Amino acid sequence: MDSSYVKLGVVGLGRWAKVLTTASKHSKKLKIVAGHSRSVEKRESFSTEFNIKTYETIDDMLGVPELEGVIITVPNEQHYPVAVKIAEAGKHVYTEKPISNILADGLRMEDLQKKHGIVMVVGHSARLLKGIKIIKDYIESGEIGRLSFVETNFSNERALTLTPDTWRWYRERAPGGPLSQLAIHQFNILHYLGGEVDSVSSIASKLSPVGAEVDDQSMTTVKFKNGALGYVGSSWTSPGVFSVRAFCQNGLLHHELDFSSWDKPENLHKSSSLYLQKGIDGFGLRENVTIPPGNMFLDELEIFSAACRTKKLDELTAYQGNVAVAMVMAALKSINENGVLVSVDQTLNAARKSIESASE
How confident is the model over 291-339, as pLDDT tens digits? 999 999 999 999 999 999 999 999 999 999 999 999 999 999 999 999 9
pLDDT < 50 stretches in the chain: 1
Q: What is the pLDDT of residue 1?
A: 45
Q: What is the pLDDT of residue 144?
A: 92
Question: What is the b/e burial string over 298-328, where b = at least 16 CB atoms within 10 angstroms of the residue's CB?
Answer: bbbbbbbbbbbeeeebeebbbbbbbbbbbbb
Strand 251-258 and strand 147-155: the pairing is: unpaired
The span from the CA of 31 to the CA of 2, in Å, is 10
Tell me the three state secondary structure of residue 315.
coil
Q: What is the pLDDT of residue 359?
A: 77
- Which tens digits make up the pLDDT trace of 79-113? 999 999 999 999 999 999 999 989 999 999 999 99
189: closest CA among 152, 163, 147, 240?
A: 152
Q: What is the pLDDT of residue 31?
A: 97
The span from the CA of 298 to the CA of 30, in Å, is 10
The span from the CA of 49 to the CA of 201, in Å, is 45
| Contact status, residue 347 vs residue 121, Cβ threshold 8 Å | no
Q: What is the pLDDT of residue 282?
A: 65
E strands of 20-96, at which residues?
30-36, 53-55, 69-72, 92-96
